[in-house]
């Protein structure tokens, strides 16, 4: 049994945050976070810039001390038993934090030695990780000269060298091309299957869909926590998608419509949140055409995390 | 075109004013340097410690001693019984000048031409030259006064001068030995400073914090390469000084080498401490420069440390450079062994431990 399977068997959460608070001077970055993360799950921390995702991860990684409250990782307190947490956690900061002037292999070996990965295991693990990250042919390239996607994969490899139970990843795919993003998530899925707990913060809503559970952070507060399905179900209503021309006039026209709960713009598409889509669809089409808007591709769609999130935030702001 | 130039210049000004440390440095730096240097050059040749071996103990001898003490350049600090005792004072750099008044001085004055001996510590040729001039001048003036008082011919007092450790009064010996100290000092500081601030700027420090690495391990790990580089530099500079510039090496090399290593460690500790508390490399560089300025002022290179007011003198003891320069000069130019320089040696050892500890303690183990 791996460590996290043991944990699951013991039936306790692997990360326990209790009223976890962190302030920087007068700014409160994280406000009384209460969170339980179960062993072996992929948990997504979702939220806009400045929501507190990085702070939350840093507190869990015991790289920062909370102002109030506490967090326990693998049973160890992050302040009093920080040294005991280290072997269990792999942390990947948002910014590239490996040595740009050392090459791929040197970086991996450095972290292997720092974590005292013994010689027998070391060679095997390094080879495994290089293959994992598709970096086997790039061992002597300087880390600073790798592409964005490869840098992230190398950083991930370095956090995995000591086989942690918990992975804390801060926006691991931000700034990475879509192909590399998918490869990265393939790696995460493999890790998930082998039982590693993964906490990943992301501004990408489609990645949120891939998680077992998501936590929506907004201005330091956890406003929603649950499976993606349950979060989406929180939206009361259905979404109509259309491509209007011209866009501005369509938005104006819809703003005056009753029964329209919300209008969101996605490039040249409009997502309109209504209480009952099939009832409202003809009504809206008529209204728009009356305003001189050409309505194309009118259809009902399933609300996605994006809509759910924006809708929840709007509700909060009112 | 001029518009753009103006725009760029304005932006530079805004950036400079946002950087308070740079501002302090620009304004305070030159002021401090000028004031310290100006004061120091003058201070270096006043109130120099003089010891007297009075074997005559007559009224005349006491008058001569008075005349010497009354000069601005010289201060009589002790009366010794024999010239051998005086040797120890010179070796320990506790006196710049020794005045030996032979027995029967007064009697000889009446009879023929008496002889008085002056021995100067030649390691600093400016000081020794100044001291000798002052002493000879004082003695001659005394003679002239006596002659006019008695309204007759006064036999000139024959002054025999001896400049120890540096008979040719080669200014090089002093400056090059000091340079040896400075070069090592600079290398140790620069290598150390770059160390931690670079990690903080790159973000690699954050990654290290999540590993089992302890602060002490990190500091020592950074200190070792700096130590090796500075030591190699020291050996190189030493070779150039001794074989290239003919600076004498009269004392035990092992002592010099060992104490040089302690000095390097102390400076590395200082550099790493600054590095640990700075956010950017620029800030670290500026702080180190200010620190270096203060250090050089307290080092005894421009101004003898003993001349400082007590509070400053106490503070000066915390700076390793001062102790190290004394060690170099004593060991190389005076042939002193560990017995003569043990206070400085102890200070260097204590400072090396202290500075490394300061570095470890000022490194925060969290991203707070």
B308 vs A38 pLDDT, higher one: A38
Asked whether residue B193 is assigned to any structural domain, the reply reads yes
**Is the peptide bond preceding residue A246 cis, with omega within 30 degrees of 0?**
yes
Pair B287, B183 in one domain: yes
Q: Are A98 and B204 inside 8 Å of each other by CB?
A: yes
Asked whether residue B39 is assigned to any structural domain, the reply reads no
Closest CA to B326 of B244, B256, B265: B256
pLDDT surpassing 80 at residue A99: yes
| E strand segments, chain B | 48-54, 74-80, 97-101, 115-121, 158-164
Q: Are A97 and B202 inside 8 Å of each other by CB?
A: yes
User: Closest chain B residue to A57 measured between Cα atoms?
Assistant: B210
What does DSSP say about strands A213-218 and A42-46: parallel, antiparallel, or unpaired? parallel
Pair B176, B303 in one domain: yes
Q: Average per-residue pLDDT in chain B?
A: 83
Tell me the mean pLDDT in the region B274-278: 87
Q: What burial class does residue A267 get, using C-beta atoms within 10 Å of its C-beta: 0-12 exposed, 13-18 middle, 19+ buried? A: exposed
Pair B137, B82 in one domain: yes
Pair B207, B342 in one domain: yes
Q: What is the pLDDT of residue B261?
A: 94
Name the DSSP letter for residue A136.
G
* Block residue for tokens 């320089």: B341
Helix, coil or strand: residue B161: strand
Q: What is the pLDDT of residue A315?
A: 79
Determine which of A24, A54, A56, A63 to mutate to test the interface with B (most B C-beta atoms within 10 Å).
A63
Encode pLDDT of B92-129 as tens digits: 888 889 998 888 887 777 776 778 888 888 877 778 88
Q: Are A63 and B213 inside 8 Å of each other by CB?
A: no
Enumerate the H helices of chain A as residue ranges: 3-10, 53-60, 82-85, 104-114, 119-132, 148-160, 178-193, 205-209, 228-233, 247-255, 277-290, 305-317
pLDDT surpassing 60 at residue A3: no
What does DSSP say about strands A238-245 and A294-301: parallel, antiparallel, or unpaired? antiparallel
The DSSP bridge partners found for residue A37 are: A15
Residues for chain B: how many in total?
Answer: 368
CATH code where residue B89 lies: 3.40.1710.10
Pair B132, B215 in one domain: no
Of B202, B210, B212, the CB nearest to A63: B210
Q: What is the pLDDT of residue A313?
A: 81
**Which residues lie closer than 8 Å to A184 by C-beta, 6 or more apart?**
A149, A152, A153, A156, A172, A173, A176
Q: Are A87 and B212 inside 8 Å of each other by CB?
A: yes
Pair B266, B286 in one domain: yes
B298 vs A126 pLDDT, higher one: A126
pLDDT surpassing 70 at residue A5: no
Of A86, A97, A100, the CB nearest to B207: A97
User: Closest chain B residue to A94 measured between Cα atoms?
Assistant: B203
CA distance A56 to A45: 9
**Which residues lie closer than 8 Å to B111 by C-beta, 6 or more apart?**
none
Chain A residues whose C-beta sits inside 8 Å of any chain B C-beta: 58, 61-65, 82-83, 86-87, 89-91, 93, 95-100, 111, 114-116, 158
CA distance B283 to B21: 7
Residue B40 confidence class, pLDDT cut points 50, 70, 90: low
Asked whether residue B16 is assigned to any structural domain, the reply reads no
Q: Are B203 and A61 inside 8 Å of each other by CB?
A: no
CA distance B330 to A232: 81
Tell me the mean pLDDT in the region A92-98: 92
* Block residue for tokens 């919300």: A262
Q: Are B204 and A58 inside 8 Å of each other by CB?
A: no
Asked whether residue B42 is assigned to any structural domain, the reply reads no
Tell me the mean pLDDT in the region B7-32: 83
Domain count across chain B: 2
The DSSP bridge partners found for residue A301 are: A239
Of A65, A97, A98, the CB nearest to B366: A65
Residue B39 confidence class, pLDDT cut points 50, 70, 90: low
* Block residue for tokens 């003058």: B42
Encode pLDDT of B307-344 as tens digits: 666 777 777 788 888 889 888 888 888 888 888 888 88
Instruction: Decide which of 3.40.980.10, 3.30.70.100, 3.10.150.10, 3.30.930.10 is the CATH code for A236-302.
Output: 3.30.70.100
pLDDT surpassing 80 at residue B37: no
Pair B189, B308 in one domain: yes
User: Closest chain B residue to A167 measured between Cα atoms?
Assistant: B210
Contact B271, B230 (CB under 8 A): no
Tell me the mean pLDDT in the region B32-39: 71
Q: How far is A219 from chain B (nearest CA, A)?
A: 20
Q: 10 Å Cβ neighbour count for A217?
A: 25
A246 vs A166 pLDDT, higher one: A166
Tell me the mean pLDDT in the region A46-73: 92
Contact A153, A184 (CB under 8 A): yes
Q: For residue B74, what are the domain limits?
A: 47-164
Contact A271, A309 (CB under 8 A): no
Pair B204, B315 in one domain: yes
Q: 10 Å Cβ neighbour count for B229?
A: 16
Q: What is the pLDDT of residue A77?
A: 93
Chain A residues whose beta carbon lies within 8 Å of the beta carbon of residue B368 = 64-65
Q: Are B211 and A62 inside 8 Å of each other by CB?
A: no
Q: What is the pLDDT of residue A40?
A: 93
Asked whether residue B41 is assigned to any structural domain, the reply reads no
Contact B105, B58 (CB under 8 A): yes
Q: How far is B198 from chain A (nearest CA, A)?
A: 10
Closest CA to B47 of B131, B121, B123, B122: B131
Contact B263, B184 (CB under 8 A): yes
pLDDT surpassing 60 at residue A8: no
Tell me the mean pLDDT in the region A212-235: 90
Closest CA to A311 of A268, A269, A258, A275: A275
Encode pLDDT of A146-155 as tens digits: 998 899 999 9
A130 vs A291 pLDDT, higher one: A130
Determine which of B207, B209, B217, B365 to mutate to test the interface with A (most A C-beta atoms within 10 Å).
B207
Asked whether residue B100 is assigned to any structural domain, the reply reads yes
Q: Are A64 and B203 inside 8 Å of each other by CB?
A: no
Last residue of a domain, one of B130, B164, B198: B164
Last residue of a domain, one of B110, B139, B164: B164
Q: Are B202 and A100 inside 8 Å of each other by CB?
A: yes
Enumerate the domain spans of chain A: 3-232, 236-302
pLDDT surpassing 80 at residue B154: no
* Domain A3-232 class in CATH: alpha beta
Tokens read off for A259: 């029964």
Pair B229, B313 in one domain: yes
Helix, coil or strand: residue A166: strand
CB pairs under 8 A between A and B: 48
Tell me the mean pLDDT in the region A218-247: 88
Pair B120, B233 in one domain: no
Percent of all residues in chain A with a pLDDT value above 90, rounded to a whole number: 53
Q: Are B211 and A115 inside 8 Å of each other by CB?
A: yes
Q: What angle do CA A219, A223, A227 make, to 5 degrees?
A: 130
Pair B209, B96 in one domain: no
Chain A residues whose beta carbon lies within 8 Å of the beta carbon of residue B218 = none
Residue A226 confidence class, pLDDT cut points 50, 70, 90: very high
Last residue of a domain, one of B164, B181, B199: B164
CA distance A150 to A112: 19
What does DSSP say about strands A260-266 and A238-245: parallel, antiparallel, or unpaired? unpaired
Encode pLDDT of B187-218 as tens digits: 777 777 777 888 888 889 888 989 999 889 99
Residue A191 confidence class, pLDDT cut points 50, 70, 90: very high
Tell me the mean pLDDT in the region A153-177: 92
């Amino acid at each position: 049994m791996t460590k996290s399977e043991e944990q699951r068997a013991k039936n306790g959460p692997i990360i326990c945050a209790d009223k976890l608070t962190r302030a920087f001077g007068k700014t409160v970055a994280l406000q009384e976070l209460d969170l339980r993360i179960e062993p072996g799950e992929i948990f997504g921390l979702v939220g806009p810039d400045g929501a507190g995702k990085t702070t939350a991860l840093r507190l869990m990684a015991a790289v920062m001390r909370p102002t109030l409250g506490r967090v326990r990782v693998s049973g160890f307190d992050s302040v009093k038993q920080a040294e005991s947490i280290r072997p269990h956690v792999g942390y990947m900061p948002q910014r590239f934090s490996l040595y740009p002037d050392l090459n791929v292999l040197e970086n991996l070996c450095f972290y292997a030695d720092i974590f005292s990965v013994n010689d027998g295991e070391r060679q095997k693990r390094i080879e495994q990780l290089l293959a994992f990250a598709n970096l086997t042919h790039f061992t002597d390239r300087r880390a600073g000269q790798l592409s964005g996607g490869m840098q992230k994969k190398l950083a991930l490899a370095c956090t995995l060298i000591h086989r942690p139970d918990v992975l804390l990843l801060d926006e691991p795919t931000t700034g990475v091309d879509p192909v590399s993003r998918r490869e990265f998530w393939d790696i995460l899925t493999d890790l998930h299957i082998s039982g590693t707990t993964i906490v990943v913060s992301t501004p990408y809503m489609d990645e949120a869909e891939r998680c077992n559970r998501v936590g929506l952070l907004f201005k330091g507060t956890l406003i929603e926590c649950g499976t993606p399905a349950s979060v989406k179900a929180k939206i009361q209503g259905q979404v109509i998608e259309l491509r209007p021309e011209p866009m501005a006039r369509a938005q104006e026209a819809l703003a005056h419509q009753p029964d329209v709960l919300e209008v969101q713009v996605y490039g040249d598409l409009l997502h309109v949140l209504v209480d009952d889509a099939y009832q409202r669809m003809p009504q809206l089409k008529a209204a728009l055409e009356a305003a001189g808007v050409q309505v194309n591709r009118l259809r009902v769609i399933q609300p996605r995390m994006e809509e759910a999130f924006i809708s929840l935030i709007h509700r909060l702001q009112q | 075109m001029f518009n753009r130039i103006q725009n760029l210049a304005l932006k530079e000004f805004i950036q400079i004013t946002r950087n308070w440390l740079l501002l302090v440095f620009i304004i305070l730096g030159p002021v401090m340097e000028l004031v310290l240097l100006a004061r120091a050059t003058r201070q270096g040749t006043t109130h120099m410690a003089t010891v007297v071996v009075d074997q005559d103990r007559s009224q005349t001898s006491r008058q001569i001693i008075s005349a010497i003490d009354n000069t601005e350049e010289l201060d009589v600090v002790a009366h010794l019984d024999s010239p051998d005792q005086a040797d120890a004072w010179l070796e320990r750099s506790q006196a710049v000048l020794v005045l030996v008044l032979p027995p029967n001085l007064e009697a000889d004055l009446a009879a023929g031409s008496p002889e008085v001996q002056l021995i100067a510590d030649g390691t600093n040729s400016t000081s020794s030259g100044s001291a000798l001039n002052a002493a000879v001048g004082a003695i001659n003036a005394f003679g002239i006064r006596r002659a006019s008082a008695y309204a007759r011919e006064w036999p000139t007092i024959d002054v025999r001068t001896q400049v120890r450790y540096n008979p040719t009064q080669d200014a090089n010996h002093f400056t090059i030995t000091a340079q040896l100290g400075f070069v090592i000092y600079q290398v140790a500081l620069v290598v150390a400073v770059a160390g931690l601030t670079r990690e903080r700027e790159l973000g690699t420090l954050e990654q290290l914090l999540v590993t089992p690495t302890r602060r002490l391990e990190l500091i020592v790990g950074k200190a070792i390469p700096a130590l090796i580089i500075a030591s190699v530099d020291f050996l190189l500079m030493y070779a150039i000084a001794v074989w290239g510039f003919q600076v004498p090496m009269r004392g035990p090399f092992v002592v010099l080498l060992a104490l040089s290593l302690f000095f390097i460690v102390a400076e590395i500790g200082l550099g790493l401490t600054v590095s640990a508390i700075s956010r950017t490399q620029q800030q670290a560089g500026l702080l180190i420069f200010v620190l270096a300025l203060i250090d050089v002022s307290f080092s005894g290179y421009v101004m003898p440390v003993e001349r400082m007011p007590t509070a400053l003198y106490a503070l000066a003891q915390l700076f390793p450079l001062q102790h190290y320069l004394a060690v170099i000069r004593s060991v190389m130019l005076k042939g002193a062994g560990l017995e003569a320089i043990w206070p400085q040696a102890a200070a260097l050892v204590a400072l090396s431990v202290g500075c490394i500890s300061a570095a470890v303690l000022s490194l925060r183990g969290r991203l707070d």
